[in-house]
Structure 1
Amino acid sequence: MFTRFILFISILLIAGFSTSAQEGSSSPYSFLGLGTKAFRGTVENRSMGGLATFSDSIHLNLRNPAAYSDLQLTAFSAGVTANSTKLKTNTTSTDINYFTLDYISIGLPFNNLGVGFGVKPRSAVGYELEESSQTSISRFEGRGGLNTVYFSVGFEPIKNLRLGGTANYNFGDIENKAIIFRNQVQFASREINFTDIKGFSFDIGALYDVKLSNKITLKSSVRYETESSLDVSRRRELSTIQQGQNGAENVVNQINVDPVDTEIDLPEMYAFGLGLGQDRKWFVGLEYENYTAGDFSELGFNFGSEVVQKEASTFKFGGFYIPRYNDPVSYFKRIVYRAGIRYEESGLQYRGEDINEFGISFGLGLPAGRVFTNANIGVEYFERGTTSNNLIQENFISVFMSFSFNDKWFIKSKYN
């Protein structure tokens, strides 16, 4: 068991550096604040429209820490996504493909208590924009994002009521660059903003089941994230540059602005979920999330009065079906079939247009290897934004996959 634990910690450290280095977004709308949302749940959650109301004894639910108290076996899970994106305006379109590591997590059961820890991305920045006028050309680029290392605890104080909490350490860096070329001017102006962010945030959750009949159970969930302050260290480089071959930026003159230390506040979030199901057979549920309006003005880089950050909300509906979980003959009857839809009001308004999302997803849970080990695969098509008012619409096809390894790590030795 100790060897397995050391192996997992090593993987976790590698994953922390990997998520920091990866380009987790290609969205032009990631220019605002901390970027676009990078974590939407496990593959199981995402295959059901992001639904986080359901929990069981072998799968991790990283959205609600109360679910750790349901674990009966040690669960190790990692998820990845392949993204294919079409960015289109009224006149042109561009295709972009990229790959992301979504999470690496472990859950450990101890009687009615469960704990979990891991690493996951929180937000992602990755954009390249250009605006032209008769007198100038402006180019904007950004990269980086925010990642999270977390520790969760879930327990069951009374039968059918589970409570849990998570402590998150958030860290990351964001780089924003703007270059302006003016007609009849020999050199271009360049500004680069380097932003380092770190700090703690916290969330709590609850799950409660009510038996309506011998087969049917009503499941409910509540989640809450506190408004949390993160430390921000920000510095700027102001330069005049000359465009070289292959897009090289040759610095003619540069001024380094003294670093500024400040804070930003992560928005408060609450969520409610409700669903009906039969154990190991089927489940259908819906969930609502609400985020207060974010204020990222202290980051020192945005697009001025054209950008408005409002309250955000998400509606989710989804579920699963298992023909016969323990069928001794048919493999296909043991497969978990999942589906869901979601509608997200992102809270971002740009040039008077709301930048919202709509997605539909499907997935399979595939038994693999040992009795409770499983592979999960899902696909989601979703749209973000609009082509109105000279904006960009994004059409995504995301294929995501995870492996969940389940075993007993803590077995008391017995001697005859």
Structure 2
Amino acid sequence: MYKKINYITAVLVLLASISVNAQITSQSPYSRFGIGNLMGSPLPQFRAMGGVSTAINKPTGYNNINVQNPASYGGIRLTTIDVGLAGSIVNLSRGSDKSSSFNGTLSHLTIAMPITKKSAMSFGVMPYSQVGYDFAEKGTISSGSNTGNPATQNVSNIYTGEGGLTKAYIGYGYQIGDHLRIGGNVEYLFGNIIQDRRVEFEDPVAMATRLRNENSIGGVNFSYGIQYDIKLNSKTSLNFGYSGSSANDINSTRSYVASKYRIGSETDGTGNTTVESIDSLKSGKSSLRVPLTHNFGIALQRDNKWVIGADFRMGSWSKFSLNKVNQGLEDSYGVSVGGQITPDITSINSYFKRVDYRFGLSYDKSYIKLADKDVKEMALSFGLGLPLANALTTRAFYKVNFTTEIGKRGTMQANALQENFINLRLGFTLNDMWFRRFKFD
């Protein structure tokens, strides 16, 4: 037992260090706004159902870690580990301009273990938001000349950004009686958001300018939840759930540098040489205001057979501020519907009857508004939960969860930007009974 604990601990520490230190990358111009593209808390098995998770406890006897609603921890009866990978194919379109990119990363590492017969704790690391973009807007500027003819010059505004926030959490859930569960998470949000804007002229004599803004963020936030199920008969139940996160100020350290440079040198990573620093601010203490969010869910469940449900979510992002400045974001909301079916969880002759088949739809109005138009996101999702054979001498159970999300963000109307994406997620889940005492007669 001690060898197993030491081995697992070493693996988890290694994976945690990879998750924390790896550079999360994406290619989404929309991640320029706010704190980037929000990643959400559902693991792959819930994302396959469109993100439906707020009211979900255990559709089958298998334990899942539902970080979206910490009240669900109260139903965990086995030590559970969930590790996953994520990849994204993004196609950007704006008029006749098109581009494609692929990015991948370790997506999450979560662990849960029972504390008593009706309670459990969970902890882990996962991305909270992602920032990654690199695009340019070309135009011309003009100034009056002595001859009376306007002098025009081509100019490029180049925007780049990288980074994002990571969430490390620890939570506890408790079941009260047979139908009610409550729980909460203490979360530490941390990371760096680096944003650059460069103005470059076609005239090689003209000096270009660069504005670099970096925010190093780290602070505590809280989330909480409650679930209640009503038994319709011995195997069917109607489940209700609510979860939310508190509005809170998180510490931020801001560094700001404005400089002039000449194009074409190879003395730094951008191929440019800084000639003069115009203005700078380093170690400026500030804060990031995380808004209040709410999630409501309902699910109808047939134990070990199927579950269908819906989630509604909303966030007060119009109150979001960074460096004590309101960022002009909009309140967000979204809805998801989806479900899971397992044809015959006890089947011996057919493996595919023991597989979980999942599907879902989601719609979100994001916190971004451009040219008086809301930026919306729609996605279709589906996935499989593939059980793996367990050793006869152990009580361990394994499952591989594979999810595909196909969707779009934005619109092609009025020459706006549209993102078409395919998100691929792979999760590996282990259920095992640890720390049990053996009795001998």
- The TM tier, using the shorter chain, reads over 0.9
**Among 335, 347, 355, which residue is 2:355 paired with?**
335
Computing the radius of gyration over CA atoms, which structure comes out larger, 1 or 2?
Answer: 2
Q: Which residue of 2 aligns with 1:287?
A: 311
Q: Which residue of 1 aligns with 2:56?
A: 54
Residue identity in the other structure for 2:397: F
**Among 411, 422, 427, which residue is 1:386 paired with?**
411
Say which SS state the counterpart of residue 69 (structure 1) adopts: helix
Q: Which residue of 2 aligns with 1:35?
A: 36
Contact 2:291 2:320 in 1 (8 A): no
Spell out the pairing of 1:222-261 with structure 2 (5 A cutoff): 222-244=242-264, 248-254=271-277, 255-261=279-285
- Encode CA deviations 1:117-161: one digit per residue, 9 max, x unaligned: 000010010011211111321101000000011001001122211
Contact 2:159 2:198 in 1 (8 A): yes
Contact 2:299 2:309 in 1 (8 A): yes
Contact 2:318 2:328 in 1 (8 A): no
Spell out the pairing of 1:8-407 with structure 2 (5 A cutoff): 8-10=8-10, 11-12=12-13, 14-52=15-53, 53-56=55-58, 57-110=62-115, 111-135=117-141, 136-184=155-203, 185-244=205-264, 248-254=271-277, 255-299=279-323, 308-370=328-390, 372-407=397-432
Q: Distance in 2 between matches of 1:27 and 1:117?
A: 29
Contact 2:289 2:322 in 1 (8 A): no
Residue identity in the other structure for 1:117: F
- Encode CA deviations 1:221-280: one digit per residue, 9 max, x unaligned: 111211111001101122111222675122112253243211121110111111112100
Pairwise CA RMSD of aligned residues? Answer: 2.0
Residue identity in the other structure for 1:372: F
TM-score (norm 2): 0.89
Number of aligned residues: 412
- Encode CA deviations 1:299-357: one digit per residue, 9 max, x unaligned: 4899xxxx841110110100100111011221111000000000001121012221110
Say which SS state the counterpart of residue 373 (structure 1) adopts: strand
Q: CA deviation at 1:73?
A: 1.1
Residue identity in the other structure for 2:275: V
Q: Distance in 1 between matches of 2:315 and 2:121?
A: 26
Q: CA deviation at 1:55?
A: 1.7
Q: Which residue of 1 aligns with 2:144?
A: none
Instruction: Structure 2: state its 5+ residue gaps.
Output: 142-154, 391-395
Instruction: Structure 1: state its 5+ residue gaps.
Output: none
